Amino acid sequence: MLEVAGIRHSYQSQLVLDLPHWRADEGDQWLLHGPSGCGKSTLLHILGGLLTPSEGIVTLAGTELGTLRGAAGDRYRGRHIGIVFQQLHLIDAITVRQNLTLAQRFAGLPVDEARATEILTVLGLADKANAFPFALSHGQAQRVALARALINRPAVVLADEPTSNLDDENAARALALLRDQARAHGSALVIASHDGRIKDAFEKRLELPARREAAA
């Protein structure tokens, strides 16, 4: 379903990623694991269509991402890929609900308030719908970020270091939520993390070797 072939990515003529082949099937939950600077964030960006690799092909549900140019690529990403960033990056100027409906609009989908309400309710955020992100606790903000990634029922959810800076209890809770919700939405899940605590929870792991002087 999500497949890469012959991916090599260089940054300032420094090879930061070299992945001959990797594949995730529908509903799979993968951990991209490795130390800082191993290129897992780079890979995540490549999988998410945020970055075009120097070489190689990424295919999502039969569509080769590299063939989609400009606006078409943006729309495709918005519809089929959900991303949870490490820093969450909720848009502070607008409410929680608006963060969600904005994701619908940018994906080129009709705004569906009922869907926004539904997912907020599932994630226990119904009473925060009209709150601004800066008024949320970290846990709440994390759930909003997840809701935003899932609202368009993407084929795959990408999460960058979802457990960093969390204590054991919260890390476990965040991870469980992420995995449960991805499963509930029928989305594949790919997590990039250097967190050793979560390593054993995943059957499917892609270990990326450390690289010296690598960016990202």
Partner 1 sequence: MNALALAIAYLRRRPLNTALNLLLLAIGVGTIALLLLFTDQLQKRLQRDADGIDMVVGAKGSPMQLILSSIFHVDIPTGNVSLGNAQTLAANAMVREIIPLALGDSFRGYRIVGSEQNYPAHYRAELADGAWWQEPLEATIGATVSSEGGLVIGDIFAGAHGMASGGAQHAETPYRVVGVMAPTGTVLDRLILTSIESVWEVHAIHDEEADAHDDTEHIVESQSGSGGVLAHGDPDQEVTALLVKFRNPIAAAQLPRQINMQTPMQAALPGYEIARLMQLVGAGIDGFRAFAVVLVISAGLGIFAALYNALAQRRYDIAVMRALGATRGTILRQILLEGVLLAVVGAVLGLLLGHGTAALAGSWLRQEHQIHLVGLTWVHEEIWLIVMAVALGAVAALLPALQAYRIDISKVLARG
49 within 8 A of 81, measured Cβ to Cβ: yes
- 134's tokens: 């800066």
Q: Output 109 or 201, the one with its CB closest to partner 1.
A: 109
Does residue 35 touch partner 1 according to CB under 8 A? no
Stretch that binds partner 1, among 55-63, 99-107, 121-129, 166-174 (CB under 8 A): 99-107
Nearer to partner 1, 42 or 202 (CB): 42
Judged by CB under 8 A, the stretch of 83-91, 169-177, 187-195, 197-205 that binds partner 1 is 83-91
User: In terms of C-beta density within 10 A (0-12 exposed, 13-18 middle, 19 or more buried), how is residue 167 classed?
Assistant: exposed
Contact status: 34 vs partner 1 (CB under 8 A): no
Binding pattern to partner 1, positions 43-72, x when CB under 8 A?
--x--x-xx------------------xx-
Regarding 106 and contact with partner 1 (CB under 8 A), the answer is yes
**Using N-to-C axis directions, what is the helix angle for 138-150 and 168-184, rounded to 10°?**
20
Q: Where are the alpha helices (DSSP H) in 4-161?
A: 40-47, 70-80, 96-106, 113-122, 138-150
Residue 207 dihedral angles phi and psi, to the nearest 5°: -85, 125
Q: For residue 63, give the H/E element and its range.
A: strand 63-64
Residues in contact with partner 1 by CB under 8 A are 41-42, 45, 48, 50-51, 70-71, 74-75, 77-79, 83, 85-87, 89, 91-94, 98, 101-103, 105-108, 111, 148, 215-216
